[in-house]
Amino acid sequence: MTYRPLVVTGTDTGVGKTQAAAGLAVKLCAHGIDVAAFKPMESGVIGPVGTDAEILARASCSGQETSDAMVYTFRTPVAPVVAAPEEGIVVETALVMERLAALRERHDLVIVEGAGGLLAPLAPGWDLLELAKETGAACLVVVANKLGCLNHSLLTQRILEDAGVTFLGFLFNDTGAKDPSAVTNANVLRRTSGRRIWGEMPRFDLAAHPRAQWGGALPPHFDVDAFLAALKV
């Protein structure tokens, strides 16, 4: 079975993209899909342990090396387009695409986690949207369930649809927000977007659980079969 790449983006930074990507990788591996993970750029990296790329590599099916799941890391916690020149790094987008293509050749499915939101600049004139367009990827948007998420979600949807990118819908993340909107956001977004809501992820600390339990980072009763069907080429 051939699957298009899955791009996991979000309405902002820190909304739960790594939790979603790792949970999906473990869950899909359990369904017999050979999954690899890819975090091409990551900012705010102090050491090799506990990075998003390291977590995603652990979540993959075949003991993926962290170095295989990343291309560029930056110490400064800012957008890669800012961090790279500050640290004397020249980002080659062609190299990113080559590394992604190599993973696709070896695995059934590659899950790509972005840095920040969809349009956060990764290199001059290049962002996660461009990567999705160039690879024919499908995109899942992680939404932090709090006041203001509807606008951010609908803007992201419009950009994806205008660009012709396959849009799978939204995956909410329980932020623990105590505002009234957290109760109504999912239903309102379902009605206004006309797109599928894949549920709401629970508050889940990946570091506190063994990899085998990371599928629990996804919503209860997550429909794996429907999700895989949407990813088929």
Tell me the catalytic residues. 39
**209 in Cβ contact with 216 (< 8 Å):** yes
In the chain the beta strands, taken as DSSP E runs, fall at 6-10, 35-42, 70-73, 109-113, 138-144, 166-173, 197-201
- Give the integer Cα–Cα distance in Å for 123 and 132: 15
Q: Please, what's the b/e burial string for 184-208 (b: 16 or more CB within 10 A of its CB; e: otherwise)?
A: ebbeebeeebebbbbbbbeebebee
CA distances from 89 to 46, 63, 72, 86 (A): 16, 28, 9, 8
